[in-house]
Structure formats: structure tokens, C-alpha cells
A and B are shown apart, each in its own frame.
Chain A
Amino acid sequence: MSAPPETATNTAAVPATGGDAGTARRPRSRSLAGWGFALPFALLFLVFTAGPVVASLLMSVTDLRGTDLLDPFNVDIVGLDNYLRLAGDEKFLTAAGNTAIFVVVGVPLTMALSLLVAMGLNSGLVRFQTLFRVGYYLPVVTSIVAISVVWRFVLQPDSGLLNEFLGLFGVDGPNWLNNQTFALPTLIVMGAWRNLGFGMVIFLAGLQAIPKDLYEAATIDGARRFARFRYLTVPMLRPTMLFVAVITTIGYVQFFEEPFVMTQGGPLDSTLSLAYHTYNQFGFGNYGSASAMGYVLFVVVVLLSIAWFKLLRNNVD
């Protein structure tokens, strides 16, 4: 982990061999301590999270349907059939494409916006911190159903705010949610709007951890704003950025509420997301194949997260 440069003077005083006397004993007791800290979590996790996950994984290699629920072992094992059939499922492929666009565009957009807002609030130039923080966080906490009502009003083709605004410039806005080209971008913008508060909160916490005197030292050394950002903020913010990147990616790969509430996947499946398609399949009772879909989502997320880890990992890791 990158230590703060020269300013931390006491580090030089720590003798490299200071722990000799107890080194033989330490690793084991520290290992035990480590497990001691992790145990309550590990236990709860194993029972309530890992257990159901394993069960659903088993589900995905059977042809379990809703009608088998009373007698779940009374099903046939179909191996990887559920997974392989997905390649020929037209809706699945469409949903995959939509989700890919949503993630590739939405994640960077949301992260950038939330980082910018966090930095703006953190710059020391702005008062009314609480007001701004609460304000930007509001979309995250407000019920999606209430939000959808308002957004639908804004996006209405004839009397909606957006088209009226565009009309001032002589632009004839389309029927956003019913238009095959514009429906998905609209939902991406809506998603970024909704989720930037989450990233902002995390980045604010991360930014607090960067000591102010580092900035002062850098300014005195003549570093301009952007250089300070690039060589000081970004490296120190890496673990936080990794966290926001992975969590946002997970959230966007599973994006569901916006299409569910706003467009029901339409028009013509242009806003159908993988999570929505999976949800529908669960609704139809196709538990086996829906679980398989869920795990495909999982694999996608894992791959993307590995990519993020490689990009933003700590040097020590």
C-alpha cells in the first residue's frame, strides 16, 4: 500500500527486526485472531447466503419447474442443457445486448458523475454541505414507483417537460419511452440520475481519508489542480474507486427496476434487460432455466469484476 510520502516521520523509527522475539508465535496467533474476527460473519454468511446459492446452483442443472415445488427432487437432471439452450433463445440474446449497452455506457457515466459531485462538495469551496448531500442522495432512497410517475410526466411526448424544453429550441422531441432508438438511452440517463448519489456517498468517505496536508504539500510544490487530481487523488482513491466500480457494475448488470416500471421491456424488447428476462422466467415457473440465466449473469459480473480488479487493484494485494 502506498504510504504517505516523507511526512510520516515515525515510520523510519520502526526497526525492521523489532518483532523478532515473538515472530515464531505471531503468525499462528494472528491467524487465529484473523479467523476470530471473520467467524461471526463467515457463519451467518455460510448458512444464509452460501447455502441458498448452492441450492440454486443445483436447481440450474435440473428441469425444475414451478409445478415441482412440493417435491423438488422429483425432477430430471439435464446437466448443462439449460445453459446451452440460452444461445438459441432470441429474447435472451436481445436482453444480453441491451444489458451490455447499459453497463458499458452507464457505469462510467454514473461513476464520473458521482466522483465529480463528491469532489465538488469536498473541495472546501461549497457551503450547505448537508443540503447538497441529502439532495443528491434523494433519488437513491425514493421509491421507484413514485420516481417513475414523475419521470413519465417529464418524458411525455406532447406535454412533458423535456419536450417542452426542447420545443423552446425548435426541436420536436420524440416519444422517448415508446421509441425503439431512444428508450434505452433514456433509461440509462435515468439510471445514472438515480444512482449517482450512491457513488457520491462512497467517494465522499474515500476522499475524507486523504490527508489534507498532502494537498497542501503538493500545492506548495507547484502542482496545479488537475495534476493534484491525477497524481494524488486518483491513486489514493483506488480502493474506493474499485469498490464503486464493482458495485455499480453489479448493479447495472442486474438492472431491473427501470425497465420494469417504465417500459416493461418495450418497445419491442429494446429495453429488456437480462435481469428482467430472468425475473419473467421465474414468474413462469421455469426455475431450472431461470437459475441458469441467473448464473450466466453471475459469470458476466465475475468477469467484469476481475477486469476492474486488474485495472484498479492495490499494489499490495
Chain B
Amino acid sequence: MTEHLRSRDRVARAALYLVLSSGLVLVVGPFVWMLLSSFKPEGEIRAIPPTWFPHDPTLANYGNLFDRLDFPTFFTNSVVVAVLTTAGNLLFCSAAGYALAKVPFAGKRVLFGIVLGTLMVPSIVTIVPLFVLSSNLGLVNTLAGLILPYLAQAFGVFLMRQFILSIPDELLEAARIDAASEWRIFWQVVLPLCRPALATLGILTFLASWNNFLWPLVAATEEETYTLPVALALYAIGQNRTEYDLLLPGAVVIVLPVLIVFVLLQRHFVRGIATTGLK
């Protein structure tokens, strides 16, 4: 019986590797091309048919990128905005998500409905009113103005609520019987169980904040407040042409911090942590 299982497992494993790896090639291919092409001169990037490995590899594109863009400023802005936005969302959304999932209070369904509703409004609709609001609050051209509108997002609350719903009520009841305050329950029981969801929310929020283009563009009236995506669009995307020799290295550089955050946080997608609370 065990022999049977093992060989079936081996076949399943081989098949799985084959399928996942072929898929991997498809998804990673464009990124690899982008990476390799960032070392090509512009002419070769535009060549038809396209090439894979650079015929004439050069670091000039990266040099050009760091020369033309005031990297330290833009990078710092992006980091500050993304980190603070992520931290804020992790805290506020898990708290609100916990309340919406497990704590009965008046107006809970209405709040959730409203929150969910605004998630469905296309963002372009609200850009101009949001800017006028920010102007009235004196937030234009400040990093705070880039952070505050995105500090507590409906998306995050939705994610945390759904995840926290799957935590067994019995655990929480047990803690309440022990006369624990809601805050302690939240900190010591709920949050540790939420690690995968928090990791997910952290990744997604960081990504969205890091790549956000339209709001930082509109809300910054001076170059010193620009974030990386805005700065890159400034130099790489022209009225009549795209400067690929700037765009591609820029795209590679912009993607790296997100990948680092992803690699760091996805370690929490580990089995076992979620089950310990039940034992």
C-alpha cells in the first residue's frame, strides 16, 4: 500500500514539476528579456527580430539612468512612502478587519458595505476631488499627502476580514472566558494566526504603493517630492518616442525592492504556524 502511494507520488511530482516549470518559463521570460536588454544599446533593443543576449553588452544605460535621475531623492521618497503606507495598512486594516469579522458592534454591516462599495469605484473618478481636498488640507507636495489617502485601504480591510473569519470562534471565546480584553485577544491570539495574511497584505500594499503613478504625479508640484515611477516616466516616456535605453534599466531597478520585500515576506507562507494555535 505504501509502495503504491510512493510511486504515484513520484509520478505526480514529476508531472507537477514539468507543468510548473513550463509555466515558469512563460512567466519569467519577459522579465529575463527585460533584464538582458537593459544592457543593450537602444538600437539593439529596437531591433527586429528581437535578440536575447546582448551583442554588445554595455553598462551605459545604467550609468545614464543614475546620471539623469536624482536617484537618492526619488528612491528615498518611494521608500518612505511605501514603508509607512504598508505599516499603517497592516495595523489599521487588521484592526478594522478583526472588528468586522469577530466583534459584534452596531453599524458593522453598514461600514463593511460602504468600505466594500468604495473599493469598486474606479480610481480615476476621484483623483481631481482628492487633489482639491488635499489642497485644502495643505497636503499638496508633501510626503504626508502621498501617504495619507492610501494609509487605510478598503482592499486591506476586506482581505483581513476574510482571513480572520476563518479563525475558529472557539479560540476567541476561550480567551474571552479568561477575561482577556479585546485588545489582548487581538494582539496575542489573532495577529499571530494571521501571519500569512499579513505577509500577503504587506506584499500587496508595498507593491501598490511602490508602483503608484497617477496620485504621486498629481500631488507633487515639485521634483523633490517625486517618487521613482514618476521620475522614470519623466525621463523615459516622451511625447513621440519611448527611450527604451532608460526605461528598461529603470524598470529593472524599480522592480528590485518589491522582489526583495516579496522574498522576505513570503517566508511566512509556511505551513505549521497557522495550526499551532489550535492544539
Query: Is there any pair of Cβ atoms, one from A and one from B, under 8 angstroms apart in the complex?
Result: yes
Interface on A for B, CB 8 Å cutoff? 1, 3-4, 8, 10-11, 14, 18-19, 27, 30-38, 40-42, 44-45, 47-53, 55-56, 59, 69, 117, 120-121, 123, 125-126, 130-143, 145-147, 149-151, 153, 156, 159, 193, 196-198, 201-202, 204-206, 208-209, 211-213, 236, 239-240, 242-243, 246-247, 250, 254, 275, 278-279, 282, 287, 290-291, 294-295, 297-298, 301-302, 305, 314, 316-317
Compute the total of residue contacts between A and B using a CB distance below 8 Å: 293
Q: Which residues from B are CB-within-8-Å of A150? A: 29-30, 33-34
> Do A121 and B20 have beta carbons less than 8 Å apart?
yes
Q: Which residues from A are CB-within-8-Å of B247? A: 143, 145-146
CA distance A133 to B158 in the complex (A): 23
- Do A52 and B258 form a contact, CB below 8 Å, given A44-B152, A121-B20? no
Check: B73 CB closer than 8 A to any chain A CB: no
CA distance A123 to B173 in the complex (A): 32
Interface on B for A, CB 8 Å cutoff? 9, 12-13, 16-17, 19-20, 23-24, 26-31, 33-34, 48-50, 91-93, 95-96, 98-100, 103-106, 108, 111, 114-122, 124-126, 128-130, 132-133, 148-155, 157-159, 162-163, 165-166, 168-170, 173-174, 176-177, 181-183, 186, 196-197, 199-200, 203-204, 207, 211, 237, 242, 244, 247-248, 251, 254-255, 258-259, 262-263, 266, 269-275, 278
CB distance from B243 to the nearest CB of A (A): 11
- A45, A143, A290, A291: the one within 8 Å of B254 (CB): A143
The A interface, classified by DSSP as helix, strand, loop or mixed, is helix
Q: Which residues from B are CB-within-8-Å of A125? A: 9, 12-13, 16
Question: In this complex, which of B95, B96, B121, B259 has the most chain A Cβ atoms within 10 angstroms of its Cβ?
Answer: B121
User: Sorted from nearest, which 4 A-B pairs have the closest CB atoms?
Assistant: A34-B105, A55-B129, A294-B125, A205-B196
Closest-by-CB residue of B relative to A8 is B278
> Do A53 and B155 have beta carbons less than 8 Å apart?
no
Question: Can you identify 25 A-B contacts, CB atoms within 8 angstroms?
Answer: A4-B278, A31-B104, A41-B95, A44-B151, A45-B152, A48-B130, A56-B121, A56-B125, A56-B126, A56-B129, A131-B24, A137-B262, A141-B258, A145-B237, A147-B30, A159-B48, A198-B204, A201-B203, A209-B163, A239-B166, A247-B158, A275-B122, A275-B124, A295-B121, A305-B116
> Do A134 and B259 have beta carbons less than 8 Å apart?
yes
CA distance A244 to B24 in the complex (A): 21
> Do A239 and B13 have beta carbons less than 8 Å apart?
no
Q: Which residues from B are CB-within-8-Å of A282? A: 124
> Do B251 and A143 have beta carbons less than 8 Å apart?
yes
CA distance A149 to B241 in the complex (A): 13
Closest-by-CB residue of A relative to B126 is A52
CA distance A52 to B125 in the complex (A): 9
> Do B182 and A37 have beta carbons less than 8 Å apart?
yes
CA distance A156 to B106 in the complex (A): 58
- Do A120 and B170 form a contact, CB below 8 Å, given A150-B30, A205-B269, A240-B163? no
CB distance from B139 to the nearest CB of A (A): 10
Closest-by-CB residue of A relative to B113 is A302
